[in-house]
Chain A
Amino acid sequence: MALLQLERISAQYPGAAKPVLSDISLSLGPKQLLVALGPSGSAKTSLLNLIAGFVTPSAGRITLDNVPVEGPSAERGVVFQDDALLPWQDVLANVAFGLELAGVPREQRESKAREMLALVDLAGFDKRRIWQLSGGQKQRVGLARALAADPRVLLMDEPFGALDAFTREQMQELLLQIWQRSAKPVFLITHDIEEAVFLATDLILLAPDPGQIVEHLQLDFGQRYSAGESARAIKSDPRFIETREHVLAKVFSQRQTIREQLA
């Protein structure tokens, strides 16, 4: 059963001639890791902002458990591209921040936060300051912070986009492990085709002007990783490469059509 439901969503900024997103319908259920892939300008972030409640759609309906989404809430946890952590607090307080806002007593929230830090392989980093962390560590803290608040769904806005290639691979594997263990539905946006194909159970390809879904694929590479296959073995599997090239071709053919339309 779908948990998060988007029905014919459009979005338009005030004063703009064209909508940024047009007629988007999708659903996200338990055990799903939905990846929205698209080139710059395909309004990926706008889509995530709609689901998070930072922006309201100009048409259509977004529901979580059949309840309409109105504004941001702790039910929809967000991991940002730039960590968006609070530098005046240490790592532990950052992870416990959502629970602090909810009024959970200190001991309880700190033990939960420690648990989450262990989950993202940052046990013992409690007292570190944010500016002492590497880019990958900050993203781990951001992930732990979102998870600590125990959201219904996890939204990730190009979470590994600013990381180097090595760290990105590690983070992808970490995400799959956590997703498998927590069983939380994840909605992730990226412009990295390999990342999208590797992580997604469901991959939607967005095309720009206005942002729209042009392809919806169901994939199982992430599940193969969870079943014990190594990430490198999966990514060098001919079937993985074939899928990746198929998606890549689709992106380019989409650009071609746009160019022809403009010409």
Chain B
Amino acid sequence: MSGFQTPSPADTITTRLPTKPHRASGFHLSTRSISVLTLAVLLGSWWLVTALEWVEPLFLPPPSAVLEKAWLLMTKGYMESTLWQHLGASLQRIGLALLFAVLTAIPVGIAIGHNRIARGIFDPLIEFYRPIPPLAYLPLIVIWCGIGEFSKVLLIYLAIFAPIAIATATGVRTVDSAKIRAAQSLGASRWQLIRHVIVPSAMPDILTGVRIGLGVGWSTLVAAELIAATSGLGFMVQSAAQFLVTDVVVLGILVIALIAFALEMGLRALQRKLVPWHGQTH
């Protein structure tokens, strides 16, 4: 009988459980709060070095001056345009380029991934121009198409086109063949196969392509505006730099960074919404 008197395993578990979840002593920070802290330290030291006048405002204006300038730019403007007009000019260019890129690169990508002849035609073209930094062919575009809006949109379009087309083709090529066969044995025609199986299957890759394309497009746009433009965020930064208006330069850089961040986050949110199955085990 003595065997029955020893505590059963279940008892031991219940008595031990409450002590188990205890963490080792010391405070615990989430990764996100560590990131927030890093930014706060960075801003703090910016304020500190300018408040103590360790750095001349010409090289680094205090945060307050940049904020003041931001207000001034939003209400009065700089170089005859407000911050909103510069921002609007940049966003319009990338928006137009993205629209045309999505409308053309996705069908081309599907064709490359799906059709041997289309692959033969487009693959070398895209692989040839893709590794060239867009700014390297900007001069040629300017010679051909002038210095107007069209040149800039065309440049960004070319920068966005390749990543989307390549990602789409990859997505199309890696469609699960069982899904294709399943649709065929349910009577799917060639077009139905593309519309109902191939495009949705490739959607996660397409969206990744758009994300990469937007990143490349945005940096290309700003760089192009630095070189040849009369409006836009890049132009604002460049012309301010020529007159050593450092607060506008800093502000411009911050706005450019903020837009890039917003684009990235927006695309990620879109990805979660449009392809919720991606990354799920199914």
Contacts and interface: CB of A to CB of B under 8 A. Distances in A.
Range of interface residues on chain A? 20 to 34
A54 B197 contact: no
Interface of B: 176, 178-179, 181-189, 192, 196-197, 200, 203, 275-277, 280-282
Nearest to B192: A101
A222 interface: no
B200 A88 contact: yes
Contacts of A126: none
A55 B184 CA distance: 12
Contacts of B179: 84-86
Given A87-B282, A129-B277, A131-B282, A101 B178 contact: no
A227 interface: no
Contacts of A145: 182, 186
B178 A73 contact: no
A77 to B, nearest CB: 6
A139 to B, nearest CB: 13
Interface in A68-94: 71-74, 76-78, 80, 82-88
A52 B192 CA distance: 19
Contact of B277 (A53, A73, A82, A131): A131
A185 to B, nearest CB: 15
Contact of B187 (A52, A149, A155): A149
A86 B197 CA distance: 8
Interface of A: 52-54, 71-74, 76-78, 80, 82-88, 97-98, 100-102, 129-131, 138, 145-146, 149, 155
Contacts of A77: 185-186
A88 B277 contact: yes
A52 B280 CA distance: 29
A122 B196 CA distance: 24
A78 B197 contact: no
A62 B187 CA distance: 19
B194 to A, nearest CB: 12
Given A129-B277, A131-B281, A84 B186 contact: no
B200 to A, nearest CB: 5
A101 B188 contact: yes
Top 7 A-B residue pairs of the complex, sorted by shortest distance between their CB atoms:
A74-B187, A87-B277, A98-B186, A131-B280, A72-B184, A131-B282, A84-B178
A82 B178 CA distance: 8
